[in-house]
Every structure is written in C-alpha cells, then in structure tokens.
C-alpha cells in the first residue's frame, strides 16, 4: 500500500494543497460560465455514450433463447416498483384480473421483501401464477386499469412483479399442501372420492385439477396426448418468454396434492369423451385447446420441405429443440435462412416471427389483413417484434405462393391489398396486389377444434367455439361435461386458468348436491398452503399467550372499539387501546394534527417514512373503553386486549383508573408515561416519564392495585432510557414498551409557518414523530434495555413495517411488536403479510440447503457474464454495447439448448424450525462498546463491473466525503478502487445497484494517513 503520510506531504507546499489532480479530474465542479462545444463534437460523443441502441436490421438472435421480456425485474427493480404501488382501495387492477388476484396485497408483500407471502397470494387465486406473470397481456388487464396510469410516472409493472415473487418462491423448493384448517382427506364424505377426468394438461386443466384437489377430491386424473405437460404453454410459447421449467414447477405443485397425469393418451385415439364418462368418471373437464390449424386453401400441397409451416408445426419444433426437459426427443431447431413471411397478427404470429430469427432468418415480415390498430396481438408481443426489427405488412391477404420450378421451394408470396368498406368489413381489392420474395412462409391464422365422434356430445357455436354456460363452464351438450380455455374462445393463459378455476367450483357443487350435500352459496375455494404456513409464531409473554407477535399500538388505529374488532378479524393478535384517562382529564383535539414527514422528501402517497402528530389521548370516556374491553374479550377470548391509561402524578387517580381497566377484563395495562406533546403540559405523559423517581412510584402504585401485568411505556426523549426502564422494574412493572414517539418539529414552510398549524394565528407545537425514521432510535432503546436488564420483558415499537423489521426487534430482545404508522400508510390487512413473512423467515432458517439466503433473498449465484465469455468486462453503452452484442451472439451459437439452464434444486433439508423464544435477543451479544471493536480487521471495496451502470456516485462521494480512493475511467466510466481505500463503506451506501459494490477483507495491513508527522 502507498503510504500517503509524511512522504506525500514533503512534496506539497501545505496541507490544503490538492494532491489527487488525476483522480479528481472528472469530479463535479460549480460552473462559473456557460459551456460551449461544437455540435459535431457532441454528435461523436453521444454515439460513444448511447445506451438505447437497437438492432439496425434483423437482430442476430440465432440460437439465443435467453429472456427478452421487458417486464422481467431484478430484486432492486422489483422493490422499487412495488414501493411505487398505491395499494388502492377496491383496486381496479384486481377487478380487471380474470382470476381476481389480490394485486394490492401481493405487491405489498414484495415491497416488504416477503416473497413467499406474495407468491401465496398469487397461487391462491391462480395456480399458473408464474406462467401468467411471464406471458399475461397485462396492458389489457390489470395494468390497463392501474390508477397510476393517470399520473406522470405511469402504471405499475404488475406482470413483472408477479413473475419476480413467484420465481423466488420456485427457488425455495417448497411443496404445496391442503389448507390445514379443512377436514383431512380421511374425514371427508364419500362424495370426495368421485372419479373426475380432465382432458389436456394445459393451464385450464392444471387450474381446475388444483382447486379440486385443494377441496379434497382424491381421484382426479388428467389425460395428456403428449409426453410432456403444459399444453400450449410448453409447445407454442417460446423459451425466451416462458421456460419449460416454469410450467414443470406449476405442474409439480399440482401433483403435490395427489392429482394424477397420464401421458400419451390422445382424445380420439385412446378414448372419447363419452367413453371417459362410461368408465366411471362422473365429471369430465375438457381443456385441450384448439389443436388443429386454420390453413388457407392456397397452401394446399405445401409441406415443410417446400418451406411452408403452420404455427402448429413450427412452434412445437422450436420448443422441443430449445426447452430442456420438455421431452426425451433429440429435436433440432428448424433451419431457416433468408426472408421469412409470417401470416397473421395475433400473439402466436409474433411468437413465430421472433422465433424465426432464432432459427436463422435474416429478415422477418409479418403480414396481416387489417390495420395496426386492429391487430389482435397484445402490445407486449408487438413491441418485442418491433425491437427485433421485424417488418410489418398491413392490409395484405395471401393470394398465391410462387414456387421455384427447379427446386419446388417457396420463392415468393403474392398478396391482395385489402380495403375496408363503410361497415368496417375488409375485402380484397382485385386490382391491387404485391409480391414479396421469401424463402419460408409460416401461417398463423388461428386454430380450430374439429368435431368428431370422439368429441360428442360437444356442440360448437357459429364462431367455432364450444357452447357452454359462461358462468359455470358447463357444456350445453351434457351436464357431466365442462370446458375451458381456447375451446370456449378464451385465448389467453389467464382466462384459461380462470375457466378451470370457475369450473372447479361448479363441478364441486354438482357432485356434492348429487350426493345430497350442500355447498356455500358464494364460492369458497381454498387458498394456497405450504409447510411454511404451519410454522408456530405464537409467543408466551408475561403469562399471556399471543397468537402472533403483531399488535396495534395505542394510537390512531385503535381510535375505537369497532376498529380494534376489525383489526382482530384481519389477524392482529393484540391491541393496546387508545390511551384513556379519568373524566376529569378529558381532552379535545385540535386540527389539523397528523401530517406526513419531511423525511420522505418529495415522496407522496403511501410508504411515508415518518409522520408527525399533535394528537392527544382518546377523546372517549373511560367508561366507553372499559365497556369496549369487556365486549372485545367476549368476542375474541384468544386475543390480548391491553388498556392504555394515563393520569397525572396522583396515586389515587392511577389506582382508580387501573382498577377500572382490570375489572373490565383487560389482559394487561400499559402506563402511558411518554406522550411527548400536550399531555406533558397537564403534568401527564412525558412530564412523568422523564423522571425515574416518578416512574418508579407510578409503577409501584399501579402494581399494588391490580393483579394483571403492567407495562411502562417509555419515552425516547431522555438522555438514557435505561435509567427509566430500571426505575419501572424497581417499581414492579412486569415489563416496558419502548418507544413512544420522538418529540420534533417536522418542517417550516417558505412563508415561515410550520405544518401543522392551527387556526388564524398559524400556531404550532412540538409533536410526536413516528414511523420508519424512528427505527434506529427504537432499536437502540430496545437493545440497551435488554442488555441492561437481561430477560426483562420488552414490547418493541418504532418503525416496524415488515416481518424483516419485526425480526430485527425480536433479535434485539422484544418478542412482541406494536405497530401504528405502517397501518396509517396502508390498512389493517398488512398483518397478513407480516404473519406469512415471519413464518417464512423462521422456516428458511431451518432449511440447511438454503443457508446462503439473506432472509427471503436467494444468493446471486453464478451469472453468465461477458467477462466469463471473453475474459474482460464491457460497459453497456456505445461501441462497448455493440461489441457485447456481437460477442454474446457468437457465444449463443455454441450453446447446447438441451443442457440444463439452471442448477437443479437441492433436496430440502429441514432441521428444527426455531420459535420466537429461540431467537429472542440473538443479536444482543454482538452489540458492545466501541473500544471492543477490532481496528486490525479492515475491509476494502470491490466493484462488480458487470453490475455497474457507470453513474460515478461512488466516485463522487469518495472524493467529497471520503478519501479520494476511486479512479473513474474517462472512456468506460468504470470505477476502480485504489489502494488508498480505507473501507469506510460510503460508496456502498450511495450505490444505486444492489451488490454492485461489496466490502471484502483487506489483504494488507491498514496504515492510516496521519496527515503530518507528529510534533515532538
């Protein structure tokens, strides 16, 4: 390491001289004058820095089946996008989803890094949740209804978020189980052993079978004609949009429930619909799609050898060759070259078009009868094709194929130009046509079901779809036959999934009623469950049994008894009432009184990092609250109700109010000794809680009067909170609550008036700051008390907004958690996310095969990077971007598509799942005095060039707030850490890309820069 002390100073004239001229050359400077640069120089420069570089002609994609979806998100992108979501009431996104996904809740879970909870919401309503996250036409469904579409920043990437969390869950390798609250299979009536057959193992059948199995049906069999499952999801959606392992994963979840699949069983060859029914299947569900292509007569006699494919020929060959594990066949990609014309303007046509590039086509043209605005394909598909430089031929209807007379292969196609009449119908103009030279033609004009003896008693409508009741999916041909998916005109995966879901309930209803049983009037399909949901997160605390650690703090969410009732119904295990007093101390609040925090900067909507309030205690009487406690305990005997009470420093008042609350049936009392505004001026709250002697006496008075546990709620507005906690314990308090809000002034407007301000005088006062901004103070308070008073019961409060944060408080010594601001940011239902999140965190701690996970985040794993391929890194802009693409294209040509695309999941190894008691206080022995920290074990920063986006934030903060230890390349903008790095970690803190900069152990001894020699 270069020593920069006395040696470097010997060359300098003074200590203020700037020595790192080269390093600082690109550091920002305040401009003293306008900057002039000729346009021709800028034109050259912008080419060097340009990032949005597309293909100039047809993209070089041969053999490249890597993911191309623009919606795909990294964890950083998913967290950022999830935080944007407003989590709306009666969310239109959910109302626009065919499967009625609880979009608001699954995105909430992602924003809280509870990926299991998110996946649970998704799979509860959609057994094909990961598939739909990848291929769902969200712009026409949930995203098209997003309320943020009315804002400048635009709608949420719902599909990308759905894909992200379900893909993380896939990596967890956890089996599906039935709802443990339902009767076990051996306790169900014989009607649940009814034999049910499903035809085709595609999305509709997978969905239907999954819900039937969740309900408890044990004899459910799917008959699939291929040797693989997934239907069109596997055979006709390309690997770069939907990998086979995704479909395989969802089918395995179905198989976990006991559903059986028989392969190579083809309708019309091995059985008919009527033969299935005669073989004892009381119900048959038909979900086999539309297996036959619609082909114009002008293609009669043409074959693959001629250069002609239908989509039903082409896409399955591509899939079999590119999707590892789909079949045992050693299929190869179709060998295309030159110009390829794709006929049609639906999703399938565009899958054919983009697949053609990967099979060797140099130019791909998509021809269709109508105009751009009337294309049936979803925008997502069209945009991908445009990005890859597919060309479009609207108003074209095939007229004839021109064959090479010598080879018999296609050499051109002729089109009639189409026109639109006044009724909106298209017709061929016989006087207008064009000829396009081409080498291959792929017809993607749709599919059909060919009626035969095998499909009796099906009937088709005038559009060629199966006639059925759209509300129940029951066929009009027979009451034992149900249908869904493409067959009934529902061509998207999510619609097919919902058809299967809908059919499952009405199949269930029909079976049960045929056996003389009844079902609920409103459908009640079971949710998705796994062993994670069996994890015990109950807490024994001060003689009380908490169903889970999550409760509502004495604050706005507990303003009234009906609110607490709704909270208990949502899943909160306990609540602390809004603080009440004797009638003589009744208050009336001012308004406005609760405002968003300035700590969130210019972020509006939910997700505020802080609030400030000048609200006082409850305006309701002690009699109201005592009656409320009695009624709540009667209705919810297993839930904990804690009464929060406040008096001045008056023994008789405290004893009187405490006895009232105990008599009402309170499980415990919380003594509010910490309200930081208003009440202190009345000699209550903070006025008592800052004096250890007063705290000691009040606790002693109350403890002498009641037999239930009491907790002193502590204020952080003291020099050392430990002294207050010690006083509470000496006074007999069974435990403490830490912390109440922090006294503060949230901000002053440009007119010199604070907010909130009251009345015409615009007066304000110091209020209580709450929310995530208080978390560091709360964690310090809890850990300090826990270390000072080992084993002393603590209820943690302050900035808890997720299961991960709750875990931090449990590690700190507080096994029971109170929450307020997170509810103010959203609603009572967040507790469901906290419960599933904490269960998942405890479960994953017991999975030895997942030891490298950070909570619910999997390790990054081995990525195929440009550095792995060519031996050095390249930025993603300008000439480097072009070089990257060229090298990646060359690399793709040598990839064996039949090799495993990802490492197989390890066999789950589950040890004892820890309880909350097991992990309480686990972090305490790592919190020590500064002098115990080892300054010999130093770290330095390392930059991952592949992840780096070349922003230079690390470089700037190191220069102006650190040690000038980062060089910034003027050509590549790649930062390089020098030997002068002191390991301060500022660069990591400001880097916008997760894990782009990591800290690793220093390999050489650290020698601090002392500036000048010590003066003797």
- DSSP labels, 220-264: EEEE-SSSSSSTHHHHTS-TTTS-HHHHHHHHHHHHTTT-EEE-S
What spatial distance separates the first Cα and last Cα of the chain, rounded to whole Å? 26
Q: CA torsion angle for 134, 137, 139, 143 (degrees, to 10)?
A: -60
pLDDT digits (tens, 9 = 90+) for 568-595: 999 999 999 999 999 999 999 999 999 9
Percent of the chain with pLDDT over 90: 84
Confidence at residue 58, expressed as pLDDT on a 0 to 100 scale: 63
Indicate if the pLDDT at residue 704 is higher than 90.
Answer: yes
How large is the average pLDDT for residues 726-755?
97
How large is the average pLDDT for residues 323-345?
90
Residues 6+ apart with CB under 8 A from 536: 913, 915
Query: Other C-beta atoms within 10 Å of 557: how many?
Result: 24
d(CA 260, CA 62): 38
SS3 category, 817: strand
Confidence at residue 698, expressed as pLDDT on a 0 to 100 scale: 98
Measured in degrees and rounded to the nearest 5, phi and psi for residue 850 equal -115, 30
Indicate if the pLDDT at residue 383 is higher than 70.
Answer: yes
pLDDT digits (tens, 9 = 90+) for 495-523: 999 999 999 999 999 999 999 999 999 99
pLDDT digits (tens, 9 = 90+) for 820-834: 999 999 999 999 999
Confidence at residue 21, expressed as pLDDT on a 0 to 100 scale: 79
Q: What confidence tier does 1016 reach under pLDDT thresholds 50, 70, 90?
A: low
Measured in degrees and rounded to the nearest 5, phi and psi for residue 643 equal -90, 125
Helices (H), 471-583: 493-514, 561-570
- The structure tokens 């074959």 sit at 303
Q: How far is CA 470 from the centre of its chain?
A: 32
Indicate if the pLDDT at residue 836 is higher than 90.
Answer: yes
d(CA 921, CA 794): 11
**Catalytic center residues:** 675
Residues 6+ apart with CB under 8 A from 609: 597, 599, 600, 603, 771, 772, 773
Structure tokens at 122: 């998704």
Mean of pLDDT over the chain: 94
d(CA 643, CA 641): 7
Quick one: which H or E segment has residue 661? Answer: helix 651-663
Q: What confidence tier does 2 reach under pLDDT thresholds 50, 70, 90?
A: very low
- DSSP labels, 19-58: --TTGGGGS----SS-----HHHHHHHHHHH------SSS
SS3 category, 199: strand
Q: Is the pTM of this model over 0.85?
A: yes
d(CA 557, CA 820): 7
Structure tokens at 87: 């989590």
Confidence at residue 890, expressed as pLDDT on a 0 to 100 scale: 87
d(CA 887, CA 880): 10
Percent of the chain with pLDDT over 70: 97
How large is the average pLDDT for residues 152-163?
96
pLDDT digits (tens, 9 = 90+) for 515-562: 999 999 999 999 999 999 999 999 999 999 999 999 999 999 999 999
The count of residues in the chain is: 1016
Confidence at residue 138, expressed as pLDDT on a 0 to 100 scale: 93
User: What sign results for the dihedral spanned by CA atoms 683, 685, 686, 692?
Assistant: positive
Structure tokens at 443: 């017809």
With beta carbons less than 8 A apart as the criterion, state whether 976 and 969 touch: yes
Indicate if the pLDDT at residue 880 is higher than 70.
Answer: yes
Quick one: which H or E segment has residue 353? Answer: helix 347-358
Q: Residue 356's closest CA among 442, 236, 241, 242?
A: 442
With beta carbons less than 8 A apart as the criterion, state whether 521 and 501 touch: no
Q: What confidence tier does 9 reach under pLDDT thresholds 50, 70, 90?
A: very low
Measured in degrees and rounded to the nearest 5, phi and psi for residue 214 equal -60, -35
Confidence at residue 3, expressed as pLDDT on a 0 to 100 scale: 41
How large is the average pLDDT for residues 961-977?
95
Structure tokens at 442: 């792929």
How do 539-541 and 391-393 pair as beta strands? unpaired
Distances (CA, A) of 461 to 37, 295, 465, 491, 886: 69, 20, 6, 16, 51
How large is the average pLDDT for residues 841-852?
95
Q: How many CA atoms lie within 13 A of 603 on its CB side?
A: 17
Confidence at residue 10, expressed as pLDDT on a 0 to 100 scale: 43
d(CA 575, CA 568): 8
Q: How far is CA 395 from the centre of its chain?
A: 42
How do 391-393 and 363-367 pair as beta strands? parallel
d(CA 725, CA 695): 9
Indicate if the pLDDT at residue 423 is higher than 50.
Answer: yes
Helices (H), 739-794: 775-788
d(CA 216, CA 193): 8
Measured in degrees and rounded to the nearest 5, phi and psi for residue 441 equal -130, 130
pLDDT digits (tens, 9 = 90+) for 592-625: 999 999 998 999 999 999 999 999 999 999 999 9
d(CA 1014, CA 114): 54
Confidence at residue 895, expressed as pLDDT on a 0 to 100 scale: 84
d(CA 207, CA 482): 13
Confidence at residue 7, expressed as pLDDT on a 0 to 100 scale: 40
Indicate if the pLDDT at residue 295 is higher than 70.
Answer: yes
SS3 category, 285: strand
Confidence at residue 735, expressed as pLDDT on a 0 to 100 scale: 98
Indicate if the pLDDT at residue 330 is higher than 80.
Answer: no
Structure tokens at 1004: 């050489």
How large is the average pLDDT for residues 837-865?
91
pLDDT digits (tens, 9 = 90+) for 461-495: 988 899 999 999 999 999 999 999 999 999 899 99
- The structure tokens 């990609």 sit at 333
How large is the average pLDDT for residues 449-457?
87
With beta carbons less than 8 A apart as the criterion, state whether 546 and 584 touch: no
SS3 category, 641: strand
d(CA 229, CA 203): 10
- The structure tokens 């999941």 sit at 905
Helices (H), 173-202: none
Q: What is the 8-class DSSP label of residue 826?
A: S
Indicate if the pLDDT at residue 190 is higher than 50.
Answer: yes
Residues 6+ apart with CB under 8 A from 533: 120, 177, 180, 836, 839
How do 410-420 and 426-437 pair as beta strands? antiparallel
With beta carbons less than 8 A apart as the criterion, state whether 978 and 966 touch: yes
């Amino acid at each position: 390491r270069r020593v920069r002390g006395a040696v470097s100073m010997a060359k300098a004239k003074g200590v203020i001289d700037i020595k790192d001229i080269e390093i600082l050359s690109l550091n920002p400077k305040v401009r003293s004058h306008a900057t002039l640069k000729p346009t021709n120089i800028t034109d050259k420069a912008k080419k060097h820095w340009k990032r949005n570089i597309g293909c100039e002609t047809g993209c070089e994609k041969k053999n490249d089946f890597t993911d191309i979806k623009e919606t795909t998100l990294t964890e950083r992108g998913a967290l950022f996008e999830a935080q944007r979501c407003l989590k709306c009431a009666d969310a239109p996104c959910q109302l626009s989803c065919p499967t009625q996904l609880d979009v608001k809740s699954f995105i909430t879970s992602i924003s809280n890094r509870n990926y299991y909870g998110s996946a649970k919401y998704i799979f509860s309503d959609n057994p094909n949740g990961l598939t739909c996250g990848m291929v769902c036409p969200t712009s026409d469904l949930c995203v098209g209804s997003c309320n943020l579409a009315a804002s400048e920043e635009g709608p949420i990437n719902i599909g990308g978020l759905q894909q992200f969390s379900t893909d993380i869950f896939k990596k967890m390798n956890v089996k599906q189980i039935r709802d443990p609250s339902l009767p076990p299979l051996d306790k169900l009536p014989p009607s649940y052993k009814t034999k049910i057959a499903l035809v085709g193992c595609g999305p509709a059948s997978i969905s239907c079978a999954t819900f039937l199995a969740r309900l408890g049906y044990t004899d459910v069999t799917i008959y699939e004609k291929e040797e693989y499952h997934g239907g069109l999801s596997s055979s006709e959606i390309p690997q770069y949009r939907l990998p086979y392992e995704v479909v395989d994963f969802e089918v395995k979840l179905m198989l976990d429930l006991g559903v059986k699949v028989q392969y190579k069983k083809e309708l019309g060859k091995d059985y008919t619909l009527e033969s299935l029914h005669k073989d004892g299947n009381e119900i048959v569900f038909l979900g086999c799609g539309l297996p036959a292509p619609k082909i114009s007569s002008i293609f009669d006699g043409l074959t693959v050898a001629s250069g002609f494919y239908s989509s039903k020929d082409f896409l399955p060959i591509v899939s079999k060759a590119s999707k590892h594990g789909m079949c045992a066949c050693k299929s190869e990609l179709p060998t295309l070259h030159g110009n390829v014309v794709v006929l049609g303007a639906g999703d399938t046509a565009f899958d054919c078009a983009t697949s053609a590039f990967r099979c060797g086509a140099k130019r791909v043209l998509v021809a269709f009868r109508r105009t751009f605005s009337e294309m049936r394909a979803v925008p997502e598909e069209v945009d991908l094709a445009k990005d890859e430089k597919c060309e479009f031929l609207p108003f074209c209807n095939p007229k004839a194929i021109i064959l090479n007379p010598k080879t018999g292969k296609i050499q051109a196609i002729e089109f009639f130009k189409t026109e639109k009449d006044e009724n909106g119908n298209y017709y061929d103009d016989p006087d207008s046509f064009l000829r396009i030279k081409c080498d291959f033609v792929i017809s993607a004009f749709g599919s059909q079901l060919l009626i035969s003896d095998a499909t009796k008693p099906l009937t088709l409508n005038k559009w060629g779809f199966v006639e059925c009741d759209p509300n129940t999916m029951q066929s009009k041909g027979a009451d034992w036959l149900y249908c869904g998916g493409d067959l009934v005109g529902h061509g998207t995966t999510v619609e097919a999934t919902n058809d299967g879901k809908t059919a499952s309930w009405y199949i269930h209803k029909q079976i049960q009623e045929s056996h003389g049983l009844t079902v609920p009037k409103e459908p009640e399909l079971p949710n998705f469950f796994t062993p994670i949901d069996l994890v015990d997160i109950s807490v024994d605390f001060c003689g009380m049994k908490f169903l889970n650690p999550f409760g509502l703090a004495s604050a706005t969410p507990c303003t009234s008894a009906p609110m607490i009732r709704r909270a208990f119904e949502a899943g909160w295990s306990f609540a602390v009432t809004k603080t009440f007093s004797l009638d003589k101390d009744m208050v009336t609040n001012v308004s406005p009184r609760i405002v968003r925090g300035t700590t969130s900067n210019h972020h509006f909507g939910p997700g505020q990092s802080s609030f400030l309030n000048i609200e006082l205690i409850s305006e309701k009487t002690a009699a109201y609250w005592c009656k409320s406690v009695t009624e709540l305990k009667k209705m919810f005997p297993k839930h904990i109700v804690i009464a929060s009470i406040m008096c001045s420093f008056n023994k008789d008042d405290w004893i009187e109010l405490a006895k009232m609350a105990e008599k009402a049936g309170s499980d415990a009392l919380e003594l509010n000794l910490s309200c930081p505004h208003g009440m202190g001026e009345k000699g209550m709250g903070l006025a008592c809680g800052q004096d250890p002697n007063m705290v000691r006496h009040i606790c002693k008075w109350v403890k002498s009067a009641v037999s239930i546990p009491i907790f002193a709620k502590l204020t952080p507005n003291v020099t050392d909170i430990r002294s207050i906690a010690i006083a509470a314990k000496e006074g007999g308090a069974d435990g403490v609550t830490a912390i109440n809000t922090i006294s503060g002034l949230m901000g002053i407007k440009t007119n010199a008036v604070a907010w909130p301000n009251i009345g015409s005088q615009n007066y304000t006062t110091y209020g209580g700051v709450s929310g995530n901004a208080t978390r560091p103070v709360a964690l310090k308070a809890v850990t300090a008390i826990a270390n000072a008073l080992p084993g002393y019961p603590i209820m943690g409060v302050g900035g808890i907004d997720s299961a991960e944060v709750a875990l931090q408080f449990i590690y700190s010594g507080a096994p029971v958690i109170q929450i307020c601001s997170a509810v103010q940011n959203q609603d009572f239902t967040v507790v469901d996310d906290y419960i599933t999140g904490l269960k998942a965190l405890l479960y994953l701690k017991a999975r030895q095969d997942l030891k490298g996970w950070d909570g619910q985040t999997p390790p990054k794993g081995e990525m195929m990077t440009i550095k792995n391929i060519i031996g050095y890194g390249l930025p993603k802009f300008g000439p480097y971007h072009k070089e990257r693409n060229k090298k990646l294209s060359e690399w793709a040509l040598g990839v064996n598509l039949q090799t495993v695309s990802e490492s197989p999941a390890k066999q789950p190894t589950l040890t004892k799942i820890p309880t909350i008691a097991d992990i309480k206080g686990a972090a305490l022995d790592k919190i020590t005095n500064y002098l115990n920290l080892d300054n010999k074990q130093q770290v330095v920063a390392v930059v991952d060039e592949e992840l780096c986006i070349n922003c230079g934030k690390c470089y700037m903060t190191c220069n102006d707030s650190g040690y000038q230890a980062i060089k910034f390349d003027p050509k590549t903008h790649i930062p390089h850490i020098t030997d002068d790095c002191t390991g301060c970690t500022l660069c990591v803190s400001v880097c916008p890309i997760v894990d782009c900069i990591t800290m690793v152990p220093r390999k050489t001894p650290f020698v601090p820069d002392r500036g000048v020699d010590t003066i003797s």
